[in-house]
Structure 1
Amino acid sequence: MTRLFHVSDIHFGAEDRAALDWFAATVAAERPDAVIVTGDLTMRARRHEFAAAQAWLEALGRPVTVEVGNHDLPYFNLWARFVTPYRRFKALERMIERPLDLRGVSIVPLKTTARAQFRLNWSKGHVSDRALRRTLTHIAEVPANHLLLVACHHPLIEAGTRSTSHTRGGRAALEALADAGAHGVLTGHVHDPFDITHPTPAGPMRLIGAGTLSERVRDTRPSFNELHVVDGMLETQVREMS
């Protein structure tokens, strides 16, 4: 069995310290095979927020892959947002969009953030042709017998949560991923967990969203997802902080 912890929207700068300590203690006690973070490490992409996130992630002592969320792009500094949007990620570079090959399961990244969009709300999702091509290239390198999960920040389609993603290109990307052999997509952004199965022309796709470990909760207390992969089958459990 391969066990994964899927966490999202940690939002250093608006973090819930008790929730972070609870998650770290759970990781230390249970030693999952990997931790998947689907975006929004920070609240405003400030240097001290990234520094705190890096220290916390490194202290977990497990393999980690991190997706970029909309809150991880510079918010107030438009020059930095357009010219050097990922510069403050440099210290975390080895974790960012890191494909993982584990026992019986592979995780590949998909970028769903954009520096700017032709709409007022730039926090919503966008899958560019370039980002999708990069992910499909990763998928082509995955062992044929592995369960294949794609990790990104924004849900590719709406999942019935209070918050929305309105991801442009998301539905087409979902169908392309399914056609390439992906079995599921792990996301964050909406701060509430979900687990649904969506039909595509290539077959059903599992869509799994994680909650938040920040103070910015919606309908669910601070939580993360525990994923089990056994003989090609995926089981999920939402674990809420009491």
Structure 2
Amino acid sequence: MTTRLFHVSDLHFGREDIAAVARFAEIVRDERPDAVICTGDLTMRARAHEFAAATDWLKTLGVPVTIEPGNHDLPYFNPIQRLLDPYKRYRRVAAAIERPMDLPDVVIVPLKTTARIQPRRLSWGRVSRSGLIRALALLAEKPAGAVALVTCHHPLVRTDFEGHGDTLGGAAALAVLAEAGADAVLSGHVHDAFDVAWEAKGRTVRLIGAGTLSRRTRTTPASFNELRVENGRLEVTVRAVG
């Protein structure tokens, strides 16, 4: 049995690449992956109309979708809401697209890396103690032989990409997640695709980043990752959209 997942990130509705998001939706409808994983930054400035556009687009995909918030999904122009209820609009999106997932050979483990207060360093992400505890609890329930994918917005550690600093608590979290059985960490944020093997606690964890479907591309053209899981093995292909 093969499970196919599409990993997409940094859609940035408000500055989305209209042709790229339309083409990705067409590919999903044609190929029918088992699920789509979105690792954050649905919007550019967390405006209501940007979330509405992202929600409408996600609904057209017609397959189960799981999403993680990105730093651009927290209120930009409303500091009070950012402090008191920063994920309000994000939760509405999640509720609108929620569909059951049946992935017997894959465990998806959400790990929030956004912060309410984001000076430059925290815009690079942070891992909270409570978020890590929740992720570890899900990993503890991982069935034998299943592949565990941790999903977050910010890369937990730096590899060979540019324009991103250290995620606060990321390296320590990665070591603990590896020890608990994580097989890969999926992220976005840097707008470039990567797939790096990372040694931690005597295990190899793959760090997998998706590109962007926005107009804010860097070295990788508009793209997404196709993940195939079969017999406990994970294969990743970067697919350009254009």
Normalised TM-score (structure 2):
0.95
- What is the DSSP-based 3-state SS (H/G/I as helix, E as strand, rest coil) of the residue aligned with 1:199? strand
- What is the DSSP-based 3-state SS (H/G/I as helix, E as strand, rest coil) of the residue aligned with 1:92? helix
Deviation readout 1:82-112 (Å, 9 max, x if unpaired): 0111111232233799995503111110000
Equivalent AA in structure 2 for residue 33 of structure 1: D
Equivalent AA in structure 1 for residue 128 of structure 2: S
Equivalent AA in structure 1 for residue 117 of structure 2: A
Equivalent AA in structure 1 for residue 192 of structure 2: D
Indicate yes or no: 2:147 matched with 1:175.
no
Q: Relative to structure 1, is the Cα distance of residues 206 and 120 closer, same or farther in structure 2, using a 3 angstrom cutoff?
A: closer
Could you tell which deviates more after superposition, 142-151 or 62-71?
142-151
Q: Distance in 1 between matches of 2:128 and 2:102?
A: 25
Runs of 5+ in structure 1 lacking a partner? Answer: none
Q: Distance in 1 between matches of 2:82 and 2:200?
A: 35
Q: Relative to structure 1, is the Cα distance of residues 97 and 91 closer, same or farther in structure 2, using a 3 angstrom cutoff?
A: closer
Q: Structure 1 vs Structure 2: percent identity of aligned residues?
A: 58
Partner residue in 1 for 2:35: 34
Equivalent AA in structure 1 for residue 215 of structure 2: E
Indicate yes or no: 2:134 matched with 1:134.
yes
Normalised TM-score (structure 1):
0.95
Q: Distance in 2 between matches of 1:218 and 1:10?
A: 14
Q: Relative to structure 1, is the Cα distance of residues 124 and 139 closer, same or farther in structure 2, using a 3 angstrom cutoff?
A: same
Note the C-alpha offset of 1:236: 0.5
Partner residue in 2 for 1:76: 77
Q: Relative to structure 1, is the Cα distance of residues 95 and 101 closer, same or farther in structure 2, using a 3 angstrom cutoff?
A: farther
Partner residue in 2 for 1:86: 87
Q: CA RMSD in A?
A: 1.8
Decide whether the 8 Å contact of 2:69 with 2:90 is kept in 1. Answer: no
Could you tell which deviates more after superposition, 99-108 or 166-175?
99-108
Indicate yes or no: 2:66 matched with 1:62.
no
Equivalent AA in structure 2 for residue 106 of structure 1: V
Partner residue in 1 for 2:6: 5
Decide whether the 8 Å contact of 2:127 with 2:170 is kept in 1. Answer: yes
Q: Relative to structure 1, is the Cα distance of residues 96 and 25 closer, same or farther in structure 2, using a 3 angstrom cutoff?
A: closer
Partner residue in 2 for 1:17: 18
Q: Distance in 1 between matches of 2:39 and 2:154?
A: 8
Equivalent AA in structure 1 for residue 28 of structure 2: V
Deviation readout 1:152-211 (Å, 9 max, x if unpaired): 000000121122142010000001101111111000000000001000113110110000
Decide whether the 8 Å contact of 1:185 with 1:207 is kept in 2. Answer: yes
- What is the DSSP-based 3-state SS (H/G/I as helix, E as strand, rest coil) of the residue aligned with 1:6? strand
Partner residue in 1 for 2:193: 193
Indicate yes or no: 2:107 matched with 1:106.
yes
- What is the DSSP-based 3-state SS (H/G/I as helix, E as strand, rest coil) of the residue aligned with 2:58? helix
